Amino acid sequence: MAKKRKKEVKSYVFKVPEFDEEEYMKKEIANARVAIITIIFAIPASIASYSLTLAGSAVFGFLVGFAFIFLLRYIYEFLHVEIEKFERKDWLGNGAMFFFTWLAVWVLILNMPFTDLTKPTIGVVYTDDCTDLYILNWTEQNMCTPTDGSTRYVTIRTRVTDNAEVQRAKINFTVGDAGEYNLIKVGDRGQYQYTFQLALGTDYTFRIIAQDVNNHWNQSPQYTITGT
């Protein structure tokens, strides 16, 4: 009977590849340099988008800023970056880094404390005549019978706020008085008020106007109060 032949077991020796520290450091320094160039180049793109936004064309500002991405290749070449070693993932990564840096800086400088593009906000306008609060709107007229048969004092109240600071709030009468007066600030929560005499049988049409410290204006709808 034939003897079974033993299988020969081959032994393998795992050899750790040699770590080239110098080549690794060169690659890391090159990647860091590319990242710095990309981030710095995103700043003028943000400024260009910012300028176009202030000029009234935010959409064009976005398109111009986005177009800067396609200039990255030429910037790298001008600064002697070895782009021939770039792979697809490198281009995608650098493009994404540029895009989010540009977008973040653009949004940042469009907001306080760098820029104020927002008008003051005028809240609900109401009056305390006839002992009750009546919310005014475009069509409703607040009817009030003067207590002494001819006149009574009525206080108009509202809340005016701004992302910077409200410089001035005023009430402008177009019917019944035809004057413009500063509202008085009450407290520190943006409450403003104005008190005037309501005459019997007289309509008073007015609107609230507000200005912030950066000269942005806003105004309320027109309201009417009638003494009857």
Distant-in-sequence, close-in-space partners of 79: CB < 8 Å, separation ≥ 6: 37
Domain that holds residue 74: 21-109
Gap between the Cα atoms of 108 and 114, Å rounded: 8
Q: Is residue 105 domain-shared with residue 139, that is, in the same domain?
A: no
């309320």: which residue's tokens?
220
Tell whether 9 is covered by a domain: no
The predicted-structure confidence for 170-185, as pLDDT tens digits, reads as follows 999 988 777 899 999 9
Q: Does pTM top 0.85 for this prediction?
A: no
Nearest to 200 by CA among 225, 226, 227, 176: 227
pLDDT of residue 126: 79
pLDDT of residue 124: 82
Tell whether 8 is covered by a domain: no
Listed residues 109, 130, 154: the one ending a domain:
109
Q: Is residue 126 domain-shared with residue 221, that is, in the same domain?
A: yes
Q: Is residue 187 domain-shared with residue 211, that is, in the same domain?
A: yes
pLDDT of residue 137: 45
pLDDT of residue 153: 78
Gap between the Cα atoms of 109 and 65, Å rounded: 14
Q: Is residue 59 domain-shared with residue 142, that is, in the same domain?
A: no
Q: Rounded to 5 degrees, what are φ and ψ at 184? A: -95, 130
Which of 11-25, 49-63, 105-119, 191-205 shows the lowest per-residue confidence on average (mean pLDDT)? Answer: 11-25
- How many domains does one find in the chain? 2
Tell whether 11 is covered by a domain: no
Eight-class DSSP state of 216: -
- State yes or no: cis peptide before 44, omega within 30 of 0: no
Taking residues 48-73, what's their average pLDDT? 93
Which of 42-56, 93-107, 141-155 shows the lowest per-residue confidence on average (mean pLDDT)? Answer: 141-155
Tell whether 188 is covered by a domain: yes
Q: Is residue 214 domain-shared with residue 181, that is, in the same domain?
A: yes
Query: What torsion, rounded to 10 degrees, do the Cα atoms 55, 57, 60, 62 define?
Result: 90
Q: Is residue 100 domain-shared with residue 125, that is, in the same domain?
A: no
- Is 133:225 a contact under the CB 8 Å cutoff? no
Q: Is residue 130 domain-shared with residue 164, that is, in the same domain?
A: yes
Q: Domain containing 201 — which CATH number? A: 2.60.40.10
Tell whether 14 is covered by a domain: no
The predicted-structure confidence for 127-165, as pLDDT tens digits, reads as follows 765 444 444 543 344 455 555 556 677 888 899 999 889
Q: Is residue 101 domain-shared with residue 154, that is, in the same domain?
A: no
Tell whether 3 is covered by a domain: no
Q: Is residue 71 domain-shared with residue 104, that is, in the same domain?
A: yes
Tell whether 202 is covered by a domain: yes
Listed residues 77, 109, 141: the one ending a domain:
109
At CA 140, angle to CA 134 and CA 144, rounded to 5?
Answer: 55
DSSP labels for 125-155?
Answer: -EE-GGGS-EE--SS-EEEE--TTSSEEEEE
Distant-in-sequence, close-in-space partners of 62: CB < 8 Å, separation ≥ 6: 49
Q: Percent of the chain, pLDDT > 90?
A: 46
